[in-house]
């Protein structure tokens, strides 16, 4: 137990009334006895009427405690320290790379070596072992989102069922079935190729941290036979004073070691005969003038690749098809990982089921166990998300000390028993947010170039589905997948700057306010819902 833990941070919260404390008690002009100015009134309005449990946590858990617990944390991806990195493959046209006839041609060129590209390349070979497939990766396979995510492998193809209901009501039921089948296929592939991805069908415990969320959980559970856990029953499952209720869904998620999944797919693709070049950014794609009649040409520093067909699996990075760039914006998400817990610390939080945990706030946290021979580690991520003006992507954005500190404060409030536990890793990564919050598709160049992007932070499972969609699109056949509305229709594009920045800032502020106003969606969020840019996971 921490000695310098503040009184009250670990206290029990009850299931009714607003969260402990109030905006007014946190030092507003009103509480100080001063006359509220128009400015302070606007600020108070923007802040929202009630503090959330996590606002309280930030007030009660000293930043100094969080800073101390993070002091030894390396700014690097935990997963990379616990997977054996495969040797880099030579760049296209470099010494050691394949040379001679056929080296610069392919039946199918795949640009991008994250999950989307790797699944596409592997499944293209599975569909037709004679197809000559070349994958071109700008850096190393799996270095980006696919190697640094939380490892929640969810069946949902639509970033949650209610988001699917909102954006694709007519086919949501079918999408649920396709998503479940896709998740089963991922598990089967991992098994088939012996991929050491620590796959575990863990299920997920969805947690209410605010009183109004308890009602939402009850509504969600009604008629399903699932039980909403509260009080002692909940604390027997995961011993936190912060959560008011929980609903366990055994099918909501599995968990994986994300990097090992990416590198395992890379190995499987190589063994299936896919040619892979790394450190090969594709600089441009020439669209043939006589659409459909000529192959596509991909420009790299080592020469051109001439491909009959191409798949663009470049996620958050600028698409080689310029008009697709307006559909996504990069948003940085962050995570921290604890040191291994001692057996006593482990026992203090229960969590025998070791399921993934996620709360119900608009800005939600994801928390998952990582079993190691040295003991249980815990990963906490999410909550803050950062967009940088001009859709910029920079390595320095992967580190946000303020967000890491905030996550550490929240962790100490979730598990006050672990307030002394230190963190060893802290990192972030960019997610390709689109306005409907799940992937969109494109087919161009006379049916020769397919793209998928827009996974918005839920792509561990959905990328395999997207790969299948793209292969179907390139087949020229009409299939069930090519006829889906979510495949034929694109989301609303983001406007240019400064409107994109202003819109994202306004939406973020509205989400924060909604969390502080018992989940009520204010005028801005309702307007976003009305135009088809709302999010309801």
Ligand X SMILES: Cc1cc2nc3c(=O)[nH]c(=O)nc-3n(C[C@H](O)[C@H](O)[C@H](O)COP(=O)(O)OP(=O)(O)OC[C@H]3O[C@@H](n4cnc5c(N)ncnc54)[C@H](O)[C@@H]3O)c2cc1C
**Under the rule (CB under 6 A), what is the footprint of ligand X?**
111-117, 136-139, 143-146, 148-152, 154, 281-282, 313-317, 320, 333, 335, 366, 381, 428-431, 455, 457-461, 463
**Residue closest to ligand X (Cβ):** 459
Of 366 and 437, CB closest to ligand X = 366
Of 56 and 276, CB closest to ligand X = 276
Token pair recorded at residue 400 = 């946000």
Alpha-carbon gap, residue 404 to 380, rounded angstroms? 9
Residue 220 CB partners (closer than 8 Å, separation 6+): 206, 247
Of 36 and 86, CB closest to ligand X = 86
Start-to-end Cα distance in the chain: 36
Of 5 and 438, CB closest to ligand X = 438
The candidate with the shortest Cα–Cα distance to 507, out of 450, 435, 443, 451, is 435
Alpha-carbon gap, residue 351 to 345, rounded angstroms? 11
The distance of closest approach from Cβ of residue 206 to ligand X in the complex, given in angstroms and rounded to an integer, is 14
The distance of closest approach from Cβ of residue 394 to ligand X in the complex, given in angstroms and rounded to an integer, is 14
The distance of closest approach from Cβ of residue 330 to ligand X in the complex, given in angstroms and rounded to an integer, is 10
The distance of closest approach from Cβ of residue 219 to ligand X in the complex, given in angstroms and rounded to an integer, is 25
The distance of closest approach from Cβ of residue 140 to ligand X in the complex, given in angstroms and rounded to an integer, is 7
Question: Do 242 and 53 contact (CB within 8 A), yes or no?
Answer: yes
Of 247 and 358, CB closest to ligand X = 358
Q: Strand, coil or helix: what is 319?
A: coil
The distance of closest approach from Cβ of residue 126 to ligand X in the complex, given in angstroms and rounded to an integer, is 18
Of 320 and 449, CB closest to ligand X = 320
The distance of closest approach from Cβ of residue 434 to ligand X in the complex, given in angstroms and rounded to an integer, is 11
Please list the alpha-helical segments (H only) found in 159-210.
161-167, 172-192
The distance of closest approach from Cβ of residue 382 to ligand X in the complex, given in angstroms and rounded to an integer, is 8
The distance of closest approach from Cβ of residue 90 to ligand X in the complex, given in angstroms and rounded to an integer, is 15
Question: Do 298 and 136 contact (CB within 8 A), yes or no?
Answer: yes
The distance of closest approach from Cβ of residue 177 to ligand X in the complex, given in angstroms and rounded to an integer, is 19
Alpha-carbon gap, residue 114 to 109, rounded angstroms? 14
Token pair recorded at residue 76 = 């690097």
Of 56 and 282, CB closest to ligand X = 282
CA 160 from chain center: how many Å?
Answer: 12
Of 52 and 149, CB closest to ligand X = 149
The distance of closest approach from Cβ of residue 515 to ligand X in the complex, given in angstroms and rounded to an integer, is 20
Alpha-carbon gap, residue 367 to 355, rounded angstroms? 9
The distance of closest approach from Cβ of residue 447 to ligand X in the complex, given in angstroms and rounded to an integer, is 21
Of 160 and 522, CB closest to ligand X = 160
Of 114 and 369, CB closest to ligand X = 114
Of 48 and 491, CB closest to ligand X = 491
The distance of closest approach from Cβ of residue 518 to ligand X in the complex, given in angstroms and rounded to an integer, is 27
Block residue for tokens 């792509």: 459
DSSP state string for 273-314: T-EEE-S--EEEEEPPSSTTTS-EEEEETTEEEEEEEEEE--
SS (H, E, C) 82-123: CCCCCCCCCCCCCCCCCCCCCCCEEEEEEECCCHHHHHHHHH
From the number of C-beta atoms within 10 Å of its C-beta (0-12, 13-18, 19+), residue 4 rates as exposed
Of 281 and 375, CB closest to ligand X = 281
Alpha-carbon gap, residue 480 to 476, rounded angstroms? 13
Polymer length in residues for the chain: 537
Alpha-carbon gap, residue 171 to 165, rounded angstroms? 8
Return the exposure string of 331-366: e unless at least 16 CB atoms fall within 10 Å of the residue's CB, then b.
bbbbbbbbbbbeeebbebbebeebbbbbbbbbbbbb
User: Can you state the percent helix, strand and coil of the chain, rounding each to 5?
Assistant: 35, 20, 45
Long-range pairs for 68-72 at CB < 8 Å and ≥24 separation? 69/408, 69/412, 69/419, 69/420, 69/421, 69/422, 69/423, 70/336, 70/401, 70/404, 70/405, 70/408, 70/422, 70/423, 70/426, 71/422, 72/422, 72/423, 72/424
Block residue for tokens 């034929």: 488
Of 145 and 484, CB closest to ligand X = 145
């Amino acid at each position: 137990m921490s000695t310098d833990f503040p009184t009250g941070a670990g206290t029990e919260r009850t299931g009714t009334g607003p969260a402990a404390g109030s905006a007014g008690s946190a030092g507003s002009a009103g509480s100080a006895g001063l006359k509220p100015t128009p400015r302070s009134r606007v600020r108070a309005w923007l802040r929202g009427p009630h503090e959330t449990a996590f606002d309280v946590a930030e007030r009660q858990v000293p930043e100094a405690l969080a800073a101390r617990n993070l002091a030894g944390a390396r700014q690097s991806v935990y997963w990379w320290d616990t997977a054996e990195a495969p040797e880099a493959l030579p760049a296209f046209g470099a010494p050691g790379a394949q040379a001679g006839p056929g080296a610069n041609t392919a039946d199918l060129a795949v640009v991008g070596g994250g999950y989307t590209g790797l699944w596409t390349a592997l499944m293209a070979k599975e569909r037709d072992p004679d197809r000559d497939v070349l994958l071109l990766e700008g850096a190393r396979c799996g270095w980006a989102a696919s190697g640094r995510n939380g490892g929640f492998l969810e069946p949902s193809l639509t970033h949650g069922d209610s988001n699917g209901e909102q954006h694709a009501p007519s086919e949501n039921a079918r999408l649920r079935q396709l998503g479940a089948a896709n998740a089963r296929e991922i598990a089967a592939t991992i098994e088939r190729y012996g991929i050491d991805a620590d796959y575990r069908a863990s299920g997920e415990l969805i947690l209410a941290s605010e009183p109004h969320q308890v009602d939402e959980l009850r509504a969600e559970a009604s008629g399903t036979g699932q039980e909403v856990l509260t009080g002692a029953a909940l604390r027997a499952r995961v011993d936190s004073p912060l959560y008011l209720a929980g609903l366990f869904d055994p099918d909501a998620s599995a968990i994986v070691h994300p990097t090992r999944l990416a590198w395992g797919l890379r190995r499987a693709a190589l063994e299936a005969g896919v040619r892979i070049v790394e450190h090969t950014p594709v600089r441009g794609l020439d669209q043939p003038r006589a659409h459909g009649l000529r192959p596509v040409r991909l420009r790299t520093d080592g020469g051109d690749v001439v491909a009959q067909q191409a798949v663009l699996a470049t996620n958050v990075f600028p698409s080689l098809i310029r008009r697709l760039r307006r559909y996504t914006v990069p948003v940085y998400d962050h995570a921290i990982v604890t040191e291994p817990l001692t057996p006593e610390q482990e026992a203090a939080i229960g969590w025998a089921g070791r399921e993934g945990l996620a709360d119900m706030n608009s800005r939600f946290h994801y928390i998952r166990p990582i079993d190691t021979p040295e003991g249980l580690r815990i990963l906490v991520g999410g909550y803050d998300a950062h967009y940088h003006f001009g859709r910029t992507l920079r390595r320095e954005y992967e580190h946000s000390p303020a967000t890491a500190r905030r996550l550490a404060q929240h962790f100490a409030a979730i598990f006050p028993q672990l307030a002394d536990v230190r963190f060893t890793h802290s990192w972030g990564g960019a997610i390709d947010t689109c306005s409907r919050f799940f992937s969109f598709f494109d087919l161009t160049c006379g049916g020769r170039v397919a793209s998928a992007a827009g996974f918005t932070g839920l792509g561990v499972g959905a990328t395999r589905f997207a790969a299948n969609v793209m292969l179907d699109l390139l087949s020229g056949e009409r299939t069930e997948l090519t006829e889906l509305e979510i495949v034929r229709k694109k989301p609303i594009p983001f406007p240019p700057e400064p409107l994109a920045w202003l819109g994202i800032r306004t939406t973020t502020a509205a989400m924060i306010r909604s969390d502080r106003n018992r989940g009520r969606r204010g005028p801005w969020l309702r307007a976003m819902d009305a135009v088809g840019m709302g999010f309801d996971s």
